Amino acid sequence: MPRIDADLKLDFKDVLLRPKRSSLKSRAEVDLERTFTFRNSKQTYSGIPIIVANMDTVGTFEMAVVMSQHSMFTAIHKHYTLDDWKLFAANHPECLQHVAVSSGSGKDDLEKMSNILEAVPQVKFICLDVANGYSEHFVEFVKLVRSRFPEHTIMAGNVVTGEMVEELILSGADIIKVGVGPGSVCTTRTKTGVGYPQLSAVIECADSAHGLKGHIISDGGCTCPGDVAKAFGAGADFVMLGGMFSGHTECAGEVIERNGQKLKLFYGMSSETAMKKHSGGVAEYRACRCVSSELAVMTGCTMWMGQELGNSGPLPWADTLHFLPLIPHPKAYHEDVGFGCIM
């Protein structure tokens, strides 16, 4: 008999953060930087806990250059070659502490990742990303990677329930990616009926991870800066964003022109677009679980981040694209609820 879970589960859109008295005079007093020590790798990392997703349209070297300037992290997509990594490391050594090498769970994936980490030893983060984080094969793969790279910090996912968070941490992962189906170009929930409301997933998975001194990433489902604040409020240690970073000049999506407007393609990594690009087509046993979107080309994260951190207000395209500048809003959240830092 299937087990029916009748408990109420919540998404970001279902809740608001209640304000409370604050001793802070200004959001300028809020410090978004955090320092983490990871359970299994024993490594320490300091930075603003925002991660650009390991999608080939946003998790680019160009994005990493900009993000690292502001102590933010990029999970580099897995389709760069070894030579690409060597060139990036030679030209931008200052970025390497803020990036992760991404990998699937196949034999070829492991070999490629090992070659990259050997060639670029300054990179200390690994992002293991598969469609089904619940498979026994994936758990065994995490154990294998941990045995080969005992001092690297491992991100692994995606899952949405506490028991799987615990199993992956005990198998060697340090940070668990939480989220099945909430992404803006993900259709897993409509194609398969599988998923979990993201806010509840973060709350429950954070509790399980923190009990083992592990950490979690809220991956997907953020459509505005307020959702990022809610994810942190729910217990996420990091928040991973894809769609909110898409369409910038640092992104790798193809640029097309329609009616005089330049558009950039953004798609999920299980979309037909991605599978045709990287795998030569859609395998018979696979269903496309993501879609492609066309976004107006933005002026670039370089400009956006510079204006943002300079506190000069929203960019001209913010209202058009329903996208507000990211950094001040989590700061405003922490001021409004009385915290001087991300807890």
pLDDT tens sequence across 255-288:
777 777 776 665 554 544 544 554 445 455 444 4
Residue 268, marked binder: yes
Residue 57, pLDDT score: 86
Tens-place pLDDT, residues 72-96: 999 999 999 999 999 999 999 999 9
Give the per-residue pLDDT at 250: 84
Helix (H, G, I), strand (E, B) or coil at 53: coil
List the catalytic residue out of 95, 127, 186, 290: 186
Q: Of 90, 93, 91, 85, give the one whose Cα is nearest residue 101.
A: 85
- 188 is annotated as an active-site residue: yes
Give the burial class of 137: count Cβ atoms within 10 A of its Cβ; 0-12 exposed, 13-18 middle, 19 or more buried: exposed
Q: Supply the DSSP symbol for 139.
A: H
181 among the known binding-site residues?
yes
Tell me what pLDDT residue 197 has.
94
What pLDDT, on the 0 to 100 scale, is given for residue 56?
86
CATH number of 31-336: 3.20.20.70
211 labelled binding-site residue: no
Residue 5 confidence (pLDDT): 85
Question: Is 336 annotated for ligand binding?
Answer: no
Is 229 part of any known ligand binding site? no
Residue 297 annotated as binding site: no
Q: Return the pLDDT at 274.
A: 44
pLDDT at 190: 67
pLDDT at residue 166 in the model: 99
Q: Which residues of 288-321 are buried (b: 16+ CB within 10 A; e: fewer)?
A: bbbbbbbbebbeebeebbeebeeeeeebeeeeee
Please list the ranges in the chain whose pLDDT falls under 50.
269, 271-272, 274-275, 278-280, 282, 285-329
pTM (global) more than 0.75 = yes
Known catalytic residue at 187: no
pLDDT given at position 333 = 55
Residue 94 pLDDT: 98
**Catalytic residue (choose from 161, 188, 205, 290):** 188
